[in-house]
Amino acid sequence: MPQEPLSQTEVDERLARLPGWSREGDRIARAYRLASHFAATAMVVHIAQVQEELDHHSDLTLGYDTVSVTVNTHTAGGVTERDFALARRIEELAPGHGAQ
């Protein structure tokens, strides 16, 4: 099911409810700093599991103790509601939200 890109106003409204996330061109992005390299690697694995469940895949970059995430719907040419659904699920995995 194709999705239409959200307007700038719609993106801004949704970003206001996702602290730490920002718009970067036609994507939304966030970086997480974790307690260790092991914790960062584990978060990448958890994110990958959610991506498979949602059949929506973001770009992930693993640093020593950081995970950077960028999300967009390539086929829509911008940010869609589907991207925000994935971002909300990623937030649930972040330290302080239950996953370590």
| Burial classification of residue 12, based on how many CB atoms lie within 10 Å of its CB (0-12 exposed, 13-18 middle, 19 or more buried) | exposed
Helix residue ranges per DSSP H, the chain? 8-15, 37-54, 81-93
Tokens encoding 24: 């970067």
pLDDT at 11 over 80: yes
DSSP letter at 5 equals: P
Q: What is the pLDDT of residue 2?
A: 57
Question: For residue 75, which phi and psi values (nearest 5 degrees)?
Answer: -70, -20
Q: What phi and psi, each to the nearest 5 degrees, are found at residue 34?
A: -115, 175
39 residue type, one letter: A
- The residue extents of the domains of the chain are 8-93
Q: What is the pLDDT of residue 98?
A: 40
| Model confidence pLDDT, tens digit, residues 39-92 | 999 999 999 999 999 999 999 999 999 999 999 998 888 999 999 999 999 999
- Give the pLDDT of residue 81: 96
Q: What's the pLDDT at 3? A: 82
Flag whether pLDDT at 36 surpasses 60: yes
Q: Is the model's pLDDT at 99 over the cut of 50? A: no
The per-residue pLDDT for 74 is 84
Predicted pLDDT of residue 100: 35
Tokens 């978060």 -> residue: 43
Q: Does domain 8-93 have CATH number 3.40.720.10?
A: no
How many residues does the structure list for the chain? 100
